[in-house]
Structure 1
Amino acid sequence: MPFKNMSLKTLIYISSGIMAFFLVFMVGMYFYIFSLELEGQIQTSFESLADNIETRLIECVESINESAKQYAYSSDIQTITFFDNPEEYFIAASPAEDVLNFILDSNPNISAIYIYNNKNGRNFSSDSSKRRIFSKALEEHGLTGGKNIDAPFFSTSFYDDGLKITPYVVYFYPFYNVRDRKFERNESAICVILCDLNHLIQWLDIDKSSRSAMAVLYEDSIVSSNRNLSEIEINALRNITDSHGKVSVGNEKYLSNSITLPQFGWKLVYMIPEKDLLGGIIRVRNISYILISVVMVLLFAMMMQLFRFVTSPIQQIVNDVRRVRKGECSRIRPVNVLELQELSNGINLTLESIEQAHAKERETQRKLYNAVIEQKQALIYAYRSQINPHFLFNTLECMRSMARHYNAIPLEKVISSLSAMFRYSLRSNTVVTLSEEIEHLKNYLNFMKLRTGSSFEVRMFIPPETFSHPILPICLQPIVENSITHGFTDSNGNHLKIIQIQSWISDISGESMLHVRISDNGCGIPEKKLKELVANMESENNVEKKYSIGLYNIAKRLKLVFGEQSRLIINSRCGYYTSVELVFPKHPRDTSFMEYELL
């Protein structure tokens, strides 16, 4: 591990550095995302403003066309344009003047209106001072010689009043004689409307910012603007080509847009400073920068102070532990931090426990030394006692040879089984395999069948996969012996006496367990006696066990060798059956049990 040999102080400083890095990273990401969101908000605001300006320009064109239509087809204007009787003209002149004033008041973008009849040259003007502009516009478009037009249009050139202060654009609208509800196609006139571009620019400038710039651009020339523009601003407006874009004026960035309508031969360009669209958001952002920076500095200072507050007492504890290890002191000093006080007290209690454990260990070593001496003496006695079994095996072997010599085959088998049983009982390991224990059980059954005259039947169901499972030596034979000597004592002689032995392997809590069940159909055990039997096996003190010493021995050896996972389970019903089940784990609790033989 990379931090295995680092001190706590170094780890704390590394952790604080990583925390500071991630804090700065998160703050940076916050401001980055904030900037992206701000940029998106700027674009959204500008696009909304651009859409409003374009919508107002379209509305202006439509309102001019609607005003021209309303004016040209009013009954009084129809009369003074297409009258036959001069008296009709004088009657309609005053109402026509009222209609004209109403149109001019309702549409501020219209400066003047001029009516011109192509057939007879009659004309009517709202402002006589603008008559020169109207005549010039009609002449330039060839409309003074009785020429008619089929559709309204805007002039692609601009006109002024001679002072070159106010530029005008002219709108031509053809209309026809519809007096007496009759449409006369051959009687037509032109309604000429004069639009003030300066007023139009001011009307379209809905931003009203003192630094925004809007102008009408025609053949790379500024025709009209919303205010006086500097040379840099004029060049910037001329360079606007895209619908939406950005331009730089000095050190400041502007958002720009251009609008071109098919009715015009010119385009409307404008640019607005980004800061004007943001309003107070920039100020809020700058204040946020300052506040977050101050908070980060204060937080870092507090973290360093906290680290020093923690690392100083920890370093004191480390130094005291080193002094204890060198033997310079036996306890560590208390510290000022409450949680670390618990640590120092715990270390002192541990040191005290270690001292007590050392004293107990010395006493245990003394007792162990005495026990080893006694064990060696017992081992010498055990070696001496092996001489007697050796004499017994030689005697049995001699008897077996004599039985074979005299052709006493049953006696030879009994002596062979008895010799194998004695050898297994005296020389088997603490833990054997199931196959070894079954072989011993078969020798015992051979002996008992000769002794009892085959008065019972043994049925074995032992799967091959259970042969190698560890088991206690001489644990099945005592149970089978109980079945023969106690289970079949009161049975009817005509009843088939059966002892059934079966084994299987199960999985309990993820561990392989061997089950061996020995059942008989004998007289069973009374309920009261069964409870006493179970109580005797579970008893720790050596009480009277007259009828259960074999089962008690097996139960104690089970717990000693295989631990608490092993089981000895007795089930019985008086007059019907008795069943004893042994449960063995896959491994004994101490592998050393596999290495020693019984003495």
Structure 2
Amino acid sequence: MRLISNLKLKHQISLLILIALIMMILIQSMFNVFFNSLTRDRAAKFAENFMEQVALNVDTIARSVERDSITISYNKYVQELMVSDNIIRNTELNDYVFDIFTLTRSSNQNIYSIVLLNNKDRQISDSVHYNNDILKTLGKIYNFRSDEFKKSVFSSIVRDSSDTFYYYSYISPILSSIDNSKIGSCIFLLDTRELEKLVNRTELTKNSLFLILDSNNRVIVSNKGLKAGDIYENVFWQEGVSRSAKDEIVYEGKKSLVQYKKIESTGWKVISVLPISELTSDMKPIVSLGIWLGVIMIILLTAIGSLFMYNTTRPIMLIVRFLSRVGERNLNYRLKIPSTNEVGIIATHINQMLDNVEEMTRNIVENQSSLYEAELSKKQAKLSALQSQINPHFLYNTLNCLSSIGLAYDISEVVSISSAMSRIFRYSIKGKDMVSIKDEMSCIKDYLLIMDIRYKGKFEIEIQMEESFLEMKTLKMILQPIVENAIYHGLEMKNGKGHLSIHGFESEHGYLQIDIEDNGVGMTDKQLSELHKGIRDDENMELFGTDKQSIGLANINKRLKLQFGSPYGLDVVSEAGIGTKVTVRLPVIEPTGKINLLPSH
């Protein structure tokens, strides 16, 4: 924060514009990322719901086939036909079974053909749709003719060589309703074309892929590009491979989102592959529009910021150069700024301040001439000279202007500091030289307010004074330089939190005593000795010098002695690393103005 505050104003404004540009770019980027992610998640959710629906439909087909298989297997005519050796009876039973086949296929359009096989390899089938090649292929794979085959299974897909279509089968053992022994097998041949209708119903993006694989990773149906019956080599999920239900892969050279759903009833898998670039392709016009808008906003912000910086910093730089000339005692210059805003108001007030300074300078010269002509006493002349050192009238109007600027730009620290300084200087240049201790403490509190803003709570303040003590009178601006010395020479260089106490009371010796004590860095014996010498050496003390600390304390000490006599003044005790204590001795001056002085010694 201190580093930023030390930058030039135009650099601070440039930094503000740069931060605004960076924030705008970050917000635009985050918006694009968020929108792309949202679009992608919604597309993935849609694909997931579609897969759930396909899996549910396949599972429904499987359940209906299982129910029809149980219905046929435990039909009394089928049970009798499986064990009967009577040719005449079997012919009669065949008619009943064929009727059952016809009824079952008409009620379930997924069933393409039905075959019954007893333990003696006698086959009963729907002769219209039956293909013996398919039965041989299934027999080799599942060995359903053996007695060990007692668990129903959905087969992998098989092809009918006569029509090039692929089918899958449901094979279940037929158990005797009497002794639960195996008496045959029931085989349902199921058409994959009904499953193709489910998969081809939806196409999320141009190159999205939906497919159903059997338990051997052979393609059952696919929405594009993949032939039924082929072994699908790019297996996204298989037993023994750790992969989440939603993952990212590279498919056909494109980064894609793959999802799978396992169908528990059949052991199949439903898989969707969605190219990620296509998921957000609809977003490209919006993203492009957002980028162009962002570029335009950046250009506008840069242009407006530059114009604002020029209109703001240029008048201020004129003021700075003007004040540099005035600081070189070129008081004849006047500031010319055509602006009517706050900067123009400052320029007007500065010119008015210079007019006032010039007038006050003439008045001071005239007053000093009158004082010399009247041959005032040396004591009164010294007192006036010492007081004039700490009465900078010309800063008062400037501080009011700064307060107005702070209010206009909503900078609370500037308002607080300038208001406090304004009250301090108004206090120092107006009114009588003899004030109440309460007024003096108000000035101290304003000064401490400024220091608290500057050092941000580096030290804590403790003030102890009775109400009756505050009503007593003293010279103006006696305590403020002491407090300033305590902060700058004691607490500012201290590591850690500092403490400053101001304790006022009436001494038993008949004078008012104010102790100002800090726990700062303190002084060595040599430094303390030099300070005592600078304060008490009245014969050689000059009003201006190089040691500001000793000059300030010597100033106060001299004023008290000139005004009230030798019993009053300052005492300083200090220890390096411990802190410093300044004791101020004042006469008892009652609110009525009555002064109780101690005899000089």
Shift, 1:273, TM fit: 1.9
Shift, 1:30, TM fit: 4.7
Distance in 2 of aligned mates of 1:378 and 1:278: 88
Correspondence for 1:273: 275
| Matching residue's letter, 1:593 | L
Shift, 1:228, TM fit: 2.3
Unaligned runs of 5+ in 2: 383-460, 480-502, 517-552, 567-598
Choose the corresponding residue for 2:473, options 544, 559, 583.
559
Structure 1's 124 and 337: CA in aligned 2 closer, same or farther, altered over 3 A?
farther
Give CA deviations for 1:333-372 in whole Å, capped at 9, x if unaligned. Answer: 2423523232222222222222232233223323443576
Q: Please state which structure has a larger fraction of its residues in helix.
A: 1
Correspondence for 1:160: 159
| Matching residue's letter, 2:473 | K
1:225 aligns with 2:222: yes
Given that 1:218 and 1:266 are in contact with CA atoms closer than 8 Å, whether structure 2 keeps it comes out as yes
Aligned residue for 2:225, secondary structure, equals: coil
Distance in 1 of aligned mates of 2:561 and 2:331: 48
Distance in 2 of aligned mates of 1:131 and 1:295: 75
Give CA deviations for 1:471-514 in whole Å, capped at 9, x if unaligned. Answer: xxxxxxxxxxxxxxxxxxxxxxxxxxxxxxxxxxxxx9822559
Given that 2:36 and 2:283 are in contact with CA atoms closer than 8 Å, whether structure 1 keeps it comes out as no
Correspondence for 1:510: 463
Shift, 1:36, TM fit: 5.8
Correspondence for 1:246: 248
Shift, 1:68, TM fit: 2.3
1:363 aligns with 2:366: yes
TM-score, structure 1 as length reference: 0.54
Distance in 2 of aligned mates of 1:286 and 1:377: 82
Correspondence for 1:593: 560
Distance in 2 of aligned mates of 1:189 and 1:42: 48
Given that 1:198 and 1:226 are in contact with CA atoms closer than 8 Å, whether structure 2 keeps it comes out as no
What aligned pairs does 1:397-546 form with structure 2 within 5 A after superposition? 510-512=463-465
Correspondence for 1:13: 14
Give CA deviations for 1:217-258 in whole Å, capped at 9, x if unaligned. Answer: 77676565332249xx99873576645432324552222245
Structure 1's 60 and 293: CA in aligned 2 closer, same or farther, altered over 3 A?
farther
| Matching residue's letter, 1:271 | V
Aligned residue for 1:373, secondary structure, equals: coil
Give CA deviations for 1:180-202 in whole Å, capped at 9, x if unaligned. Answer: xxx45357332211233454355
Give CA deviations for 1:295-339 in whole Å, capped at 9, x if unaligned. Answer: 233222222232233334444545555666674954322423523
Shift, 1:172, TM fit: 0.5
Given that 1:71 and 1:99 are in contact with CA atoms closer than 8 Å, whether structure 2 keeps it comes out as no
Choose the corresponding residue for 2:195, options 197, 200, 206.
200
Given that 2:200 and 2:223 are in contact with CA atoms closer than 8 Å, whether structure 1 keeps it comes out as yes
Give CA deviations for 1:371-411 in whole Å, capped at 9, x if unaligned. Answer: 763356999xxxxxxxxxxxxxxxxxxxxxxxxxxxxxxxx
| Matching residue's letter, 1:273 | P
Given that 2:168 and 2:191 are in contact with CA atoms closer than 8 Å, whether structure 1 keeps it comes out as yes
Structure 1's 74 and 298: CA in aligned 2 closer, same or farther, altered over 3 A?
farther
1:331 aligns with 2:327: no
Shift, 1:136, TM fit: 4.7
Given that 2:217 and 2:232 are in contact with CA atoms closer than 8 Å, whether structure 1 keeps it comes out as no
Shift, 1:123, TM fit: 0.9
Given that 2:212 and 2:268 are in contact with CA atoms closer than 8 Å, whether structure 1 keeps it comes out as no
Shift, 1:73, TM fit: 4.1
Distance in 2 of aligned mates of 1:93 and 1:378: 139
Aligned residue for 2:184, secondary structure, equals: strand
Choose the corresponding residue for 2:207, options 199, 204, 211.
211
Shift, 1:152, TM fit: 0.6
Structure 1's 164 and 583: CA in aligned 2 closer, same or farther, altered over 3 A?
farther
Given that 2:331 and 2:354 are in contact with CA atoms closer than 8 Å, whether structure 1 keeps it comes out as no
Given that 2:465 and 2:504 are in contact with CA atoms closer than 8 Å, whether structure 1 keeps it comes out as no
| Matching residue's letter, 1:510 | I
Distance in 2 of aligned mates of 1:377 and 1:16: 58
1:149 aligns with 2:149: yes
Structure 1's 325 and 65: CA in aligned 2 closer, same or farther, altered over 3 A?
same
| Matching residue's letter, 1:196 | D
What RMSD in Å do the two structures reach over aligned CA positions? Answer: 5.0
What aligned pairs does 1:28-427 form with structure 2 within 5 A after superposition? 28-32=29-33, 53-73=54-74, 85=89, 89=93, 92=96, 95-105=99-109, 108=110, 110-118=111-119, 121-125=122-126, 127-134=128-135, 136-138=137-139, 141-143=142-144, 147=147, 149-156=149-156, 158-163=157-162, 165-176=164-175, 178=177, 183=178, 185-186=180-181, 188-197=183-192, 199-200=194-195, 202-204=197-199, 207-209=202-204, 210-213=206-209, 214=211, 216=213, 224-229=221-226, 237-238=234-235, 242-243=243-244, 244-257=246-259, 269-278=271-280, 280-281=282-283, 283-318=285-320, 321=323, 327=330, 330-369=333-372, 373-375=376-378
When the two structures are aligned, how many residues end up with a matched partner?
409
Shift, 1:271, TM fit: 1.9
Distance in 1 of aligned mates of 2:163 and 2:172: 25
Structure 1's 187 and 247: CA in aligned 2 closer, same or farther, altered over 3 A?
closer
Structure 1's 377 and 351: CA in aligned 2 closer, same or farther, altered over 3 A?
closer
Shift, 1:291, TM fit: 2.8
| Matching residue's letter, 2:159 | D
| Matching residue's letter, 2:166 | P
Aligned residue for 1:211, secondary structure, equals: coil
Given that 1:513 and 1:583 are in contact with CA atoms closer than 8 Å, whether structure 2 keeps it comes out as no
Distance in 2 of aligned mates of 1:90 and 1:50: 42
Distance in 2 of aligned mates of 1:125 and 1:342: 106
Aligned residue for 1:10, secondary structure, equals: helix
Shift, 1:211, TM fit: 2.0
Structure 1's 260 and 125: CA in aligned 2 closer, same or farther, altered over 3 A?
same
Aligned residue for 2:234, secondary structure, equals: helix
Shift, 1:160, TM fit: 1.2
Aligned residue for 1:248, secondary structure, equals: strand
Given that 1:54 and 1:259 are in contact with CA atoms closer than 8 Å, whether structure 2 keeps it comes out as yes
Distance in 1 of aligned mates of 2:309 and 2:295: 21
TM-score, structure 2 as length reference: 0.54
Given that 1:79 and 1:92 are in contact with CA atoms closer than 8 Å, whether structure 2 keeps it comes out as no
Structure 1's 340 and 66: CA in aligned 2 closer, same or farther, altered over 3 A?
farther
Distance in 2 of aligned mates of 1:134 and 1:92: 23
Larger radius of gyration: 1
Aligned residue for 1:168, secondary structure, equals: strand
Unaligned runs of 5+ in 1: 380-507, 517-554, 569-581
Aligned residue for 2:161, secondary structure, equals: coil
Moved more, 165-174 or 306-315: 306-315
Aligned residue for 1:586, secondary structure, equals: strand
Given that 1:513 and 1:586 are in contact with CA atoms closer than 8 Å, whether structure 2 keeps it comes out as no
Structure 1's 229 and 310: CA in aligned 2 closer, same or farther, altered over 3 A?
farther
